[in-house]
Amino acid sequence: MKAVAIVGVGQTAFVRGYEGSIRELAFDAYKEAMLDAGLKAKDIDASIICSAPEYDKQRTPAGTIVEYLGLNPKPTFYVESVCSSSSSGLRVAYSLVKAGLHKTVLVLGFQKMSEISSADSQERMGRGSDVMWEAPFGTMMPAYYAMHARAHFHRYGTTEEDLALIRMKAATYGMINKKAVYQKGVTLDQVLSADVVASPLKRFDCCANADGASCVIVAHKDVAKSVSKKPIWILGVGAATAPITMSGRKSLTGLTCAQAAAKEAYGMAGIKAKDVDVAEVHDCFTIAEMMAYEDLGFAKPGKGKELIRAKETYVDGKIPVNVDGGLLSKGHPIGATGGSQIRTIVLQLRGEAGEMQVKDPEIGLIHNIGGVGVYGNVTILGV
């Protein structure tokens, strides 16, 4: 149902070290989205600020950023679901507009990871899991996803090379994405012979930290039609969770939060997996993209490797996935990632994706996961 649309998108380049403050970083993405939409500050009825906490010193960032953006006295608040914060922000923005509380809502995702030392960054990483029962063993995201890779290899015969093929696709598109943190190509040999981080995942199987911000402007159909020549409609939103503890999980070969979120989003949009023309999935690690193919129904469980081996997820394949470089090449400024994925799909559906343009897409999907499959968020957009 075409009731709520996206009328403006913006994103900063994702970089290793942004030479400015979080409010200036946020402003860069905000400015791009506002110019894209042709709006002024007074046109925004409410905003939602999204990021993961403890990477910079500003407690309660929403209020600070909103002052700098010139959005006072309109309402704002903070939304966090770690790596899917800005998708959760979009879900809330959609709900606020659909409920009739506001006409135009802005979602601003940001993350500045470079202000803390790498020791502190690693300390935060250790507390990303259940701090009472699992963190005391020394856990981190690569290691948890590595357990999923090991289980997937064992159950389905997926190989390290299959994961490397995913990294090579990411690099293919990262090379032509001026906003990506990693714009170099990679060879199969480079990926397979890289240092192990947590077996069986190696350096190139992992996305990099980065600084960045993204902005998505959501509007009621009345505003959308007058403001935008091509509003992109939010057709479906789905969200679900899975236990944060591994001991609470049913299986390690897929993410149930993604399966459930996808089912809800497909149902709301009235479509099936095969109707999706272009997708952005949460490839924080190569195995995460492999599981996404299956969790979203692009391939049956265990058959994800056939898609990548046949290059079906490249721009001219059956189901183009992450043809902007994905998190693997773009980098992963935690709170900004969801908005970046949404922006890529909006540009694709508008026909504004340049060299990465998929041919005439009508339906796009964003799969954005928080933590190791704790928060699943799937959004479906259409022309």
Partner 1 sequence: MGFERFGTVSFTSQTKAAPFVDLLDKGIVAGTKCKGCGASYFPPRPDCSKCFSSNMEWTEITGNGKLVSYSKLIYAPTGFEADLPYSIALVEFPNNLKVFGRLSKEIKDEEISIGMDLNIEVVKLPNDRVTYQFKKA
Site stretch for partner 1 (CB under 8 A), options 8-16, 129-137, 157-165, 233-241:
129-137
Give the separation between CA 143 and CA 185, rounded to whole angstroms: 25
Q: Tell me the closest approach of the beta carbon of residue 206 to partner 1, in angstroms.
A: 10
Q: Tell me the closest approach of the beta carbon of residue 55 to partner 1, in angstroms.
A: 15
> Can 148 be counted among the known catalytic residues?
no
Mapped onto helix, strand or coil, the DSSP state of residue 225 is: helix
Task: Supply 336's token pair.
Answer: 């900004």
The active-site residue out of 50, 83, 215, 257 is 83
Using alpha carbons, list the distances in angstroms from residue 77 to 40, 47, 69, 276, 343: 20, 7, 14, 32, 22
Q: Does residue 127 interact with partner 1 by CB under 8 A?
A: yes
> Can 284 be counted among the known catalytic residues?
no
Q: Does residue 194 interact with partner 1 by CB under 8 A?
A: no
Beta-ladder partners of 364: 278, 381
Q: Does residue 133 interact with partner 1 by CB under 8 A?
A: yes
Q: Is 19 buried (19+), middle (13-18) or exposed (0-12) by CB count in 10 A?
A: exposed
- Helix (H) and strand (E) counts for the chain? 13, 11
* Comparison of 266 and 285: residue with beta carbon closer to partner 1: 285
Q: Does residue 301 interact with partner 1 by CB under 8 A?
A: no
Q: Of the candidates 146, 186, 291, 346, which one interacts with partner 1 according to CB under 8 A?
A: 146
Q: Does residue 143 interact with partner 1 by CB under 8 A?
A: yes
Q: Does residue 80 interact with partner 1 by CB under 8 A?
A: no
Task: Supply 368's token pair.
Answer: 């954005």
Q: Of the candidates 96, 105, 201, 381, which one interacts with partner 1 according to CB under 8 A?
A: 201
Under 8 Å between Cβ of 153 and 200: yes
Q: Does residue 150 interact with partner 1 by CB under 8 A?
A: yes
Q: Return the amino acid letter for 156.
A: Y
* Footprint (CB under 8 A) of partner 1, residues 233-262: 245-249, 252
The active-site residue out of 102, 152, 220, 332 is 332
Length of the chain: 383
Site stretch for partner 1 (CB under 8 A), options 7-15, 31-39, 138-146, 333-341:
138-146
Handedness of CA 51, 86, 263, 205 (dihedral sign): negative
Residue 226 CB partners (closer than 8 Å, separation 6+): none
Q: Does residue 186 interact with partner 1 by CB under 8 A?
A: no
Task: Give residues in contact with partner 1 (CB under 8 A).
Answer: 119-120, 122-123, 125-127, 130-140, 142-144, 146-148, 150-151, 154, 195-201, 245-249, 252
Please give the positions annotated as active site.
83, 332
